Structure 1
Amino acid sequence: MKLFEKYIVKNYLKNFFVIFLALDLFYVGVDLLTNYNNIPDSANLQILYALFQGMNAVNYVLPLSVVFGMIVTYFSMIKSNELICMYASSISKKALVRPFFITSLVLTLFYIGLNCTEFAYAYEYSANLKKYNRISTSSEDLFLKHDNQYIYFKKLDPLKQIAYDVTIFEVDNVDLTKIIRASVASFIQNHWMLENVSIIHKPRITSLNDNGYRTEHVDKLQTMQDFKPKIMDNVYQSEYTLSITDGIDALRFFDTQGVNTSKIKATLFYQLFFPLFAPFLIVVLYYKAPVMGRYFNMAVIASSFAFSTLVVWSGLFLLSRLASNGVIFAEIAIILPIIILFLIALYFYSKR
């Protein structure tokens, strides 16, 4: 890495982290003041709630901080005449924009990687703390379909991956063939392990010699491969989001189940592609920014850049919410605007 690139990256990261921490703490502070009467009285739970809300705030403030950090760094370089000195040293615009773009892209990809983990459920955990004074909450009376099975869960704890009072109805076309009941079921190694199982076999009688009704009892029974508790809870409750890995698993799983996956697809596309607007927008703003401040009002231009960033972010966010509600296809609402912004950035980079 060249000396000027190290200098730009260092200043950009410094400004980014200052802006990011300020916005994140501001979000948490406002939320604590707003929900002070609703959060738990325990100091430990209050700290956990603030931590989860801080993690949830990353979804909103990190893409903005990536762009704002570039704006502050660029205009500070203009103010100190560092930018014009770099141009006078025969450093091209393309060479100067690359440190901004690569650094912002790395930060964005790191954030996307976080959404592959339990980080994506930070809002759910904070909401559970506020409502139930605990991180995990149980869903009750779930009725689901899996292949030729209709499954009823009296109670499901997705965090512990345990279900209680499970009843499975197996059908052949429209004919009920088997009823499986279990007191407890645990999700182990991508399948459900039922305990204390009672199986009622309903025969298909075609003659007087056929076997009739019979009941079977087994200690354990393995069933429902890849039917993850988190997928079951979040998709059917429609309250929170899914991590990227769980979203991919949900799309694969429900693809053959005849279930509407538009909300899952919108959530997955939002987490994968929405943050990429920040690096592409940085390139566009860089080429639209002035080289020196002698003939321009830097405060007005910097404010207009910040306002443009907020307009782009809010517009893309609105489209993603419309896609999540099924109003617009996720491919059109989320992927298409990012592709258009990428092509605009590529045009500026290659032609200017």
Structure 2
Amino acid sequence: MNIFFRYISSLYLKSFFILFFSLTFFFVAIDFLVNFNKLPKSANLELMYIFFLTCSAVSYILPLAIVLALVLCVFNMIRSNEFVSLYALGLSKNQVIFYPFIWAMFFCCIYVGLNFTPFAYVDEYKSNIIKRGTVNREGGEILIKYNDKFIYIEKIANEILYNVKIFDTYNLDIQSMINAKDANFDGVSWGLNNVTIVNIPRNLIVSKEGLSVEEFKNINGLEDFSPKILERISLTDSNPSYSILDALESMIIYTKQNISTSALRSSLYSLIFTPFFAPFLMLIIYYYFPLISRFFNLAFLAFVFFVCILLVWGLLFLLTRLSENEILSPELGIILPVFILMCIGSFYYLKHK
């Protein structure tokens, strides 16, 4: 069994890496040529753009490479009569597909793990290089509600807030206003610098207590409000990117503020569940492969499999985009199709047990 594991794994991994690197290179080359004139005239930024573009291509290339690698691997085995020889040695269909399936799940788990890191933002980074000539995201003016406060931020750059105004309200009446020149996040709360606080009495009466103004060099405020969430909110010109951790943190805050989490759930589900359609689609199509090539036109059959794989991938991609635009529920557009493929693949596996 150990010999078989090394043999079938080497065949599958060879096909996978050939397809993965070939498709990635093709994707990067085409995109770089299309956007070459839009890139800033800087060798460093061009190299960074290529790096981010390569990382960005993984989300599109990896599922296709996983499934197409099995088609390429098995059809080469069928052509050389190795496929039927494995069955002749006493191996079942499930034993032949088991190790490629495990490798496919392993690659998907690595991809999901990477989405816990800044890897999830590479698409945003490469877009920033084209649009702004810089990697870092600079947010524009935003006005948001947090608990009983309304917060105005003029600019966000490098996790620093500039010209922050915090309005504390009670029954929609302004009780106080905090004006800070800038703010930095210390992991728990924001440190507001050069602060002016204006307190407004609840009942304004002539000749009674009026406005009180206090000035501080540094104070803390906006506890548990992540700078990553603020950056995502400030993305008004495109669909925001999220890592898995940032999406979970944002969902908690959005839920507390009674803000719709549909877009957040779409991003979270696409990062966690969508990649796993590939191993189970691979499992489904495997059971339709012929044993020998004598009675089949392998070239035409491979073409049919490629078209079917691309159609399923395209349909899932379309459903994901519909979910991100809140046309479909994320559970219906992302989780349900993957769950259906998982059920069908498990059914075929148990059927041939």
* TM-score for both structures, normalised by structure 1: 0.96
Counterpart Cα distance in 1 of 2:208 and 2:148: 24
- Alpha carbon RMSD of aligned pairs, Å? 1.5
Counterpart Cα distance in 1 of 2:298 and 2:245: 44
The one-character-per-residue Cα deviations of 1:205-249 (angstroms, maximum 9, x if unpaired) are: 387897432111222221212322222222342523111111111
1:215 alignment partner AA? V
Match of 2:273 in 1: 273
Equivalences for residues 106-255 of structure 1 within 5 A: 106-157=106-157, 160-205=158-203, 211-238=209-236, 239=238, 240-255=240-255
Equivalences for residues 81-100 of structure 1 within 5 A: 81-100=81-100
Counterpart Cα distance in 2 of 1:50 and 1:180: 43
Pick closer, same or farther for the CA change 1:122–1:206 going to 2, 3 Å: closer
2:98 alignment partner AA? R
Counterpart Cα distance in 1 of 2:286 and 2:255: 42
User: Secondary structure of 1:165's match?
Assistant: strand
Q: Which runs of 5+ in 2 are unaligned?
A: none
User: Secondary structure of 1:37's match?
Assistant: helix
Q: Which runs of 5+ in 1 are unaligned?
A: none
The percentage of aligned residue pairs carrying the same residue is 36
What number of residue pairs does the alignment pair up? 350
1:202 alignment partner AA? I
Counterpart Cα distance in 2 of 1:10 and 1:149: 59
Counterpart Cα distance in 1 of 2:44 and 2:285: 44
Q: Is the 8 A contact 2:150 2:168 kept in 1?
A: yes
1:5 aligns with 2:5: yes
Shift of 1:82: 1.6
Counterpart Cα distance in 1 of 2:332 and 2:285: 24
Counterpart Cα distance in 1 of 2:325 and 2:8: 41
Match of 1:345 in 2: 345
Counterpart Cα distance in 2 of 1:214 and 1:32: 58
User: Secondary structure of 1:255's match?
Assistant: helix
Shift of 1:254: 0.4
Q: Is the 8 A contact 2:140 2:234 kept in 1?
A: no
The one-character-per-residue Cα deviations of 1:113-142 (angstroms, maximum 9, x if unpaired) are: 111111111111111111221101311211
Q: Is the 8 A contact 1:20 1:65 kept in 2?
A: yes
Counterpart Cα distance in 2 of 1:203 and 1:76: 81
Q: Is the 8 A contact 2:141 2:234 kept in 1?
A: no
Q: Is the 8 A contact 1:199 1:217 kept in 2?
A: yes
Match of 2:105 in 1: 105
1:58 alignment partner AA? V
Match of 2:37 in 1: 37
Counterpart Cα distance in 2 of 1:260 and 1:3: 53
1:295 aligns with 2:295: yes
Counterpart Cα distance in 1 of 2:214 and 2:88: 86
Counterpart Cα distance in 2 of 1:20 and 1:187: 40
Match of 2:310 in 1: 310
Match of 2:63 in 1: 63
Q: Is the 8 A contact 1:169 1:180 kept in 2?
A: yes
Shift of 1:108: 0.7
2:230 alignment partner AA? M
Counterpart Cα distance in 2 of 1:206 and 1:31: 62
Q: Is the 8 A contact 2:204 2:210 kept in 1?
A: no
Shift of 1:180: 0.4
Q: Is the 8 A contact 2:168 2:176 kept in 1?
A: yes
